[in-house]
Amino acid sequence: MKMFRNYINGQWVTTAKQFEDRNPVDNTLVGMVYEAGKAEVDAAVKAARAALGGPWGKMTQQQRCNMLVAVADEIHRRFDDFLAAEIADTGKPKGLASRVDIPRGGENFRDLADLSMRFPTESYTFDTPDGGKAINYGVRTPRGVIAVISPWNLPLLLMTWKVGPALACGNTVVVKPSEVTPATATLLAEVMETVGLPPGVFNLVHGFGPDSAGAYLTEHPDVDGITFTGETRTGEAIMKAAAKGVRPVSFELGGKNAGLVFADCDFDKAVAGITRSAFENTGQVCLGTERVYVERPIFDRFVAALKKSAESLRPGNPWDEGVNFGPLVSQEHYSKVLSYYEKAKADGATVVTGGERWQLPGALAEGAWVKPTIWTGLPETSAVIREEIFGPCVHLAPFDTEEEAIALANNTPYGLACTAWTTDVSRAHRLGSAIEVGIFWINSWFLRDLRTSFGGAKQSGIGREGGSHTYEFYTETRNICVKL
């Protein structure tokens, strides 16, 4: 059995309180996690504060970036260890974790370090009232101690997406991973120790949200900025904590993302794309599609094709070849998703496929398995249409006009992402301007250039990350005016 410890000021720290980390595939015990209390969080923040004035703060930008490249190399060297840890915590298939989570988790350090070396500042010369001249130029300084609160659906990838640029900009971090996925965060702390990152630059505290490490960290007055990915209600609580001391936040929050399928689409590609956006990672993707609107002439055909595609997904042991569908991340989340399956039936949904738990044989019977689910026939007022479920489920409804499709897509308090499938280029561009989201895909989904902006509109987030947008949050810009 594994023991997951906190990492504070370059030291491994145990505590009196522990909690379980369970494998969602079969509910077996992966290990015990040492829960950080207020004292441990305070020690981590103090260590991060002290490290800003230590060797880390005196390094050149190139030296810091070289160290982050070493982190990427070490993650690659320990690829199999990270893969095993990610699968044990999340249950996701090996094919997905080895293709997305671990490679991207490592490359985030390399790519974001490279971006930081090329991020410009501004410079202006202007005429002064006395007939002379002055120069104004900008410099970027680290924001300071950054609290990183990372989610459980892509534990390594989304944590390193924040830790990489934070460190590249000269900040120090205190990381609080999700309580249900502690393993890869702990491995990352081992990597930081191996490559010789100065003590206090990277700190790790395990625990929960309220009355635990999450609340203690976000409420700590010496934290200079908070970055969080997770559900909107938790983001609201963190924002209240950040208001004291006027600390900046960067949030990627919940979504109820729409997919739009027009009659002129490449039909097979649209079916494959919506299959991915609805069911990949068992629907546990913040950018995933839970509402799909299909132009009426192809509606019945599309429903039938998506049903066939969903029913071809293969659950099972995540290490087995050909398995491409995993369990939900925890028993708690399993209960939540099943409650929405029941709500859909109560609201009169037509269950096209799924709508229940998945009975798998042997030890897998104890896992958090639900069937990929397709509904039709629900009113737009149903909780199943309005609320984020974060499971392998999607509702399909027909539309008749482009204007109707836009109105349906925008009829939500969220605004994270949308995917649209059409061969009409002009329509595609019109949709991109009209739909209220942070990222809009045309004839694709989950296609990301790390130089571009990423984030949500409305209740789906605050701020943008990616490329130059990342460094707006992780640095402070100072203007220097020189009278010539």
In a domain, residue 421? The reply is yes
Q: How many domains is the chain partitioned into structurally?
A: 2
Q: How confident is the model at residue 112 (pLDDT cuts 50, 70, 90)?
A: confident
In a domain, residue 452? The reply is no
- Residue 299 CB neighbour total at 10 angstroms: 18
Mean pLDDT of 447-464: 93
Whether residues 318 and 417 share a domain: the answer is yes
Predicted confidence at residue 277, as pLDDT, reads: 98
**Active site positions, annotated:** 252
In a domain, residue 453? The reply is no
Whether residues 305 and 402 share a domain: the answer is yes
In a domain, residue 383? The reply is yes
Mind giving me the DSSP string for 286-335?
Answer: TT-EEEEEEEGGGHHHHHHHHHHHHHT--BS-TTSTT--B---S-HHHHH
CATH of the domain at 281: 3.40.309.10
Predicted confidence at residue 284, as pLDDT, reads: 98
Query: What are the helix (H) ranges across 169-225?
Result: 183-195, 213-218
Whether residues 153 and 32 share a domain: the answer is yes
Measured in whole angstroms, the distance separating CA 448 from the mean position of its chain's CA atoms is 13
Indicate whether 468 pLDDT > 90. Answer: no
CA-CA-CA-CA torsion sign (29, 186, 46, 111): negative
pLDDT in tens, 191-223: 999 999 999 999 999 999 999 999 999 999 999
Predicted confidence at residue 116, as pLDDT, reads: 86
Indicate whether 142 pLDDT > 90. Answer: yes
Q: How confident is the model at residue 333 (pLDDT cuts 50, 70, 90)?
A: very high
Mean pLDDT of 274-303: 98
pLDDT in tens, 308-319: 999 999 999 999
Average pLDDT, the chain: 97
Mean pLDDT of 284-291: 98
pLDDT in tens, 149-179: 999 999 999 999 999 999 999 999 999 999 9
Indicate whether 120 pLDDT > 90. Answer: no
In a domain, residue 88? The reply is yes
Predicted confidence at residue 117, as pLDDT, reads: 85
Mean pLDDT of 225-239: 96
List residues bridging with 374 in a β-sheet. Answer: 353, 394
CATH of the domain at 18: 3.40.605.10
Indicate whether 467 pLDDT > 90. Answer: no
Q: CA 417 to CA 252: how far, in whole Å? A: 11
Whether residues 245 and 276 share a domain: the answer is no
Whether residues 265 and 223 share a domain: the answer is no
Predicted confidence at residue 319, as pLDDT, reads: 98
Whether residues 76 and 189 share a domain: the answer is yes
Predicted confidence at residue 479, as pLDDT, reads: 97
Residues 181/90, Cβ–Cβ less than 8 Å: yes
In a domain, residue 287? The reply is yes
Indicate whether 423 pLDDT > 90. Answer: yes
Residue 422: domain span: 257-442
> For tokens 């369990």, what's the residue?
327
